[in-house]
């Protein structure tokens, strides 16, 4: 991945972890700000530019 590459993400937050009655989906857009490769390991850092919460039915 290259620095500046736009990314989309979706993270499902379980209701049991949040103490909510339903799972919550977090969806958003961001971009890669750092990428390091050491041997077979890769580390990527990204910033979140926008996000929204979506309740699951």
| pLDDT score at 51 | 97
The whole-model pTM stands at 0.71
Query: pLDDT band at residue 56, thresholds of 50, 70 and 90?
Result: low
Stated length of the chain: 57
The residues spanned by each domain of the chain are: 6-55
| pLDDT score at 7 | 97
Per residue in 2-55, pLDDT (tens digit) is 999 999 999 999 989 989 888 899 999 999 999 999 999 999 999 999 999 986
């Amino acid at each position: 991945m290259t620095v500046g590459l736009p990314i989309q993400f979706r993270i499902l937050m379980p209701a049991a972890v949040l103490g909510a009655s339903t799972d919550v989906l977090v969806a958003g857009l961001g971009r890669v700000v750092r990428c390091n490769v050491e041997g077979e390991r890769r580390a990527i850092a990204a910033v979140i530019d926008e996000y929204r919460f979506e309740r699951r039915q």
